[in-house]
Amino acid sequence: MRAFLMVLLAGAPGRTVAADRAETEVWSQAMTSNSPEAYFLYLSRYPTGEFVELAVAALIRLGALGSQVTAPPPAAVAPVVPALPQPVEPVEPVDPY
């Protein structure tokens, strides 16, 4: 019994595995939800976690980080049609008088 308690208190490998599983679970939920709130939830619970970089990348992609300059969606941009070259007409000399 004492040995069992010692293992529990010492933070045995089994506990680490359980912690990893919990983190993976929160990360999976964040990916499924794919919302800023879900990614912020992951970051607040696991600020040094394995998926921190991915969570921040997702927040950038969603435009949830303040300074991020988001490009307007392609549909909102009017297509730019390149101007066709105009046929050049021969210029006749003009008599100034």
Partner 1 sequence: MIKAVSGRGAGAAFAIALILSACAPNVKIGAFAFYTPPAATTAREPIEITANTGRQALDIVAKTLRADGARITAKSTRHLTIEGKDTRNDRVACGTITQSAPEGRSTFAANAERAVLFDAGAPGGIKFRLVDVETRFRLTMSRPVNGVSTGALAQTHRVTIRTTTADQRKLLSSQTLTFAPGARATFDDGTVCVSSGQLRKVLAR
Which range touches partner 1 (CB under 8 A), out of 12-20, 35-43, 80-88, 89-97?
35-43
Q: Which is nearer to partner 1, 67 or 86 (CB)?
A: 67
Q: Which of 44, 72, 83, 95 binds partner 1 (CB under 8 A)?
A: 44
* CA-to-CA separations, 78 to 4, 70, 73, 75, 83, in angstroms, rounded: 69, 17, 11, 7, 15
74/77 Cα distance (integer angstroms): 5
Q: Which is nearer to partner 1, 14 or 63 (CB)?
A: 63
42/23 Cα distance (integer angstroms): 8
| Site size for partner 1 (CB under 8 A) | 18
